[in-house]
Amino acid sequence: MIADHRFHALATLRLSLNVLAQPLQQVAEMPSQALARAADFFTTQGELLRENRDLRAELLEQSAAAQEATMLRAEEEHLLAMAPGHGRYADHGVVAEVLYTARNPFTRKIVVDKGLTQGIKAGMPVIDGTGVVGQVTSVGTFTSEVTLVTEKGQSVPVMLVRNGLRAIAVGSGKDGSIDIPFMPVSADVRQGDVFVTSGIDGTYPPGLMVAKVSSVEKNSAYAFARIVAHPLAAVDNYRFVLLLPLAPPPPRPETLEEEVRKPVKERPAHAPRRQGGGAAPR
């Protein structure tokens, strides 16, 4: 147990046992999936036509935004070629269907139907139509486990849309909420503010919606404000999610001495473009 919890050393054992348990799992899922498909089959034509119309309208709106995004991205790459640093965007992801919620009453995880055979790796960020859902934590042969953002200790580097304030959103582990800890009492955070990913860690692409603040408690008796937010993605009821690829690691320097002797400006970029704050290296 300690080997599994502290050192994550038993991944191979878990993977091989999972292969054993997988066929039984699939057999057990069949009734509920058959029920869901049957329910889908009996939708009325009116509902389908209406849904079709709404989806087409949404597609039209989004295609305009997508074309603009392509043009902006090309422009940004052109500009970035003139300065060090590289941004990362949600280029292409793998669509996965959510099979079931992991049967562990102590954690918040879901299981999706893509695994090693489809090239999924641990650490890949997972999003849905509205925002960040979580991160892939464990990969099996045909399925993977995704830890949700509301899980205790699961953190996402975020930024306030309104004023650019940077923070880390940490899942609280209870009742589907997210905490923003370590914000000073004087921080400019209001109820209803939306947090998006800041992209600073290089894992999550910047600009994805994460959470909306539902309550802010500023008590000067404590050092930090107590900010509680709720995730914007449909973290508890969804069927399809998108698994984004991991950012490639920065290129290895030839030798370490060479790397250290180069002036800072010429070193290859290790972090995405948006550094901001006081810690930016020249």
Site string for other proteins, 167-196 (x = CB under 8 A): ------xx----------------------
Q: Which residues on adjacent β-strands are paired with residue 178?
A: 171, 229
Beta carbon of residue 41, minimum distance to other proteins (angstroms, whole number)? 20
- Asked if residue 105 lies in contact with residue 142, where contact means CB atoms within 8 angstroms, the answer is no
Site string for other proteins, 85-114 (x = CB under 8 A): --------------xxxxxxxxx-x-x---
Q: Does residue 255 interact with other proteins by CB under 8 A?
A: no
Q: Does residue 152 interact with other proteins by CB under 8 A?
A: yes
Q: Does residue 5 interact with other proteins by CB under 8 A?
A: yes
Q: Which is nearer to other proteins, 17 or 79 (CB)?
A: 17
Q: Which backbone phi and psi does 189 adopt, to 5 degrees? A: -125, 130
CA of 81: how far to CAs of 73, 76, 77, 84, 85, in Å? 12, 8, 6, 7, 9
Q: Which is nearer to other proteins, 33 or 163 (CB)?
A: 33
Q: Which is nearer to other proteins, 124 or 209 (CB)?
A: 124
DSSP letter at 245?
Answer: P
Q: Which is nearer to other proteins, 29 or 113 (CB)?
A: 29
Q: Give the number of residues in contact with other proteins, rule: CB under 8 A.
A: 35
Q: Which is nearer to other proteins, 196 or 241 (CB)?
A: 241
Q: Residues 6 or more apart from 27 whose CB is under 8 A from it?
A: none
Phi-psi region of 234 (alpha: psi -120 to 50; beta: other; left: phi over 0): beta
Q: Residues 6 or more apart from 30 whose CB is under 8 A from it?
A: none
Q: Which is nearer to other proteins, 16 or 62 (CB)?
A: 16
Q: What is the DSSP string of 21-39?
A: HHHHHHHHHHHHHHHHHHH
How many of the other CB atoms lie within 10 Å of CB of 166? 14
Chain contacts with other proteins (rule: CB under 8 A): 1, 3-5, 10, 13-14, 17-18, 20-21, 24-25, 27-29, 31-32, 99-107, 109, 111, 138, 145, 152-153, 173-174
